[in-house]
Amino acid sequence: MIYRKATTNDVAEMMKLRKRQLIDEGIEPSVNMDDELLSFFERKLRDGTLIQWLVEDQGEVVACGAVLFYEFPPSYTNKTGKKAYIANMFTDENFRGRGIAKELLAKLVKEVRAAGISKIWLGASEMGRPVYRKFGFIESDEYLELDLAKWTVK
């Protein structure tokens, strides 16, 4: 297995992996999001707020994981306000159970530490939760979401 950082030359592969990940999580492909994915990956890779690792086996990308960097207002528990978000974690079903996700997480945590950030957060699928718990992530109820497409004034 070859672990390597993605570049803008890998955006098409990253787009394919993102769509596979979403389908694997049970989300039906109901819209074409190619233009948005292309723009997102190119922009974030260029500005350095996304670092994505790819895992290749015999020239085929079989897994990936990314970290996105965000700045929030400083707080008493995070005086820099900087946080990292783990995203795009996906391993092809034929390669699961081999420790690939754990190795990707270790590489992503190393990237976060190198950036001087001490807070990492993520959203996990049911399938991914055991991997993250075993790695040391702790679940919290800190984050809530409001879907404005479904929201009406009450």
pLDDT in tens, the chain (154 residues): 999 999 999 999 999 999 999 999 889 999 999 999 999 999 999 999 999 999 999 999 999 999 999 998 998 988 888 999 999 999 999 999 999 999 999 999 999 999 988 888 888 878 788 888 888 888 776 665 666 578 776 6
0.85 exceeded by pTM: yes
Within 8 A by CB and 6+ apart from 69, the residues are 48, 49, 50, 82, 83, 84, 85, 115, 117
Nearest 5°: CA angle at 143, between 53 and 106?
Answer: 25
Within 8 A by CB and 6+ apart from 19, the residues are 29, 33, 37
**DSSP string for residues in 114-152:** HTT---EEE---TTTHHHHHHHT----S------TTT--
| Other CB atoms within 10 A of residue 81 CB | 13
> Cα–Cα distance between 11 and 7 in angstroms, integer?
7
What sections of 1-145 are H helices per DSSP? 11-24, 34-47, 100-114, 129-135
